[in-house]
Amino acid sequence: MPKITVLPHPDVCPNGSVIDDAPVGESICRVLLNHHIELEHACELSCACTTCHVLVREGFGSLAEATDSEEDLLDRAWGLSTTSRLACQAKVAKADLVIEIPRYTINHAKENH
């Protein structure tokens, strides 16, 4: 199984994380959530917002191309880059991935816990 390395993020994953058993075909968001990395996902993984926006620093080329719907949403994401993806839509392929979670999202309905 491929490995996902999550770079440190001050709020979501302060020390970073390495997931050694990411199932091929599973969304990046679901894998992170299953490993207790609480990536925002305001639309419950339905490709209706940008809160699960991630930057794929390594392994981007292994991912299937983004759909037009995903691309349209990404245009509204904070910190957009050429390797941006919505984690709810990007499915793990056979290559290892290095993921950076952007510092901010545009989630206006975020709840504080």
Domain boundaries in the chain?
4-100
Tokens read off for 91: 């499915």
Does 107 score more than 70 pLDDT?
no
Confidence of residue 90 (pLDDT cuts 50, 70, 90): very high
pLDDT band at 111 (very low <50, low <70, confident <90, very high): very low
Rounded Cα distance, 33 and 40, in Å: 9
How many CB atoms are closer than 10 A to CB 14?
A: 9
Q: Which helix (H) or strand (E) holds 99?
A: strand 97-100
Tokens of 107: 């989630």
Arithmetic mean of pLDDT over the chain: 92
Digit-coded pLDDT (tens) for 14-48:
999 999 999 999 999 999 999 999 999 989 899 99
Q: For 94-103, what is the mean pLDDT?
A: 96
- Judge whether 23 and 44 are in contact, CB under 8 Å: no
pTM of the model: 0.90
**Residue 104's pLDDT is what?**
79
pLDDT at 6 over 70: yes
Instruction: Confirm or reject CATH 3.30.565.10 for domain 4-100, answering yes or no.
Output: no
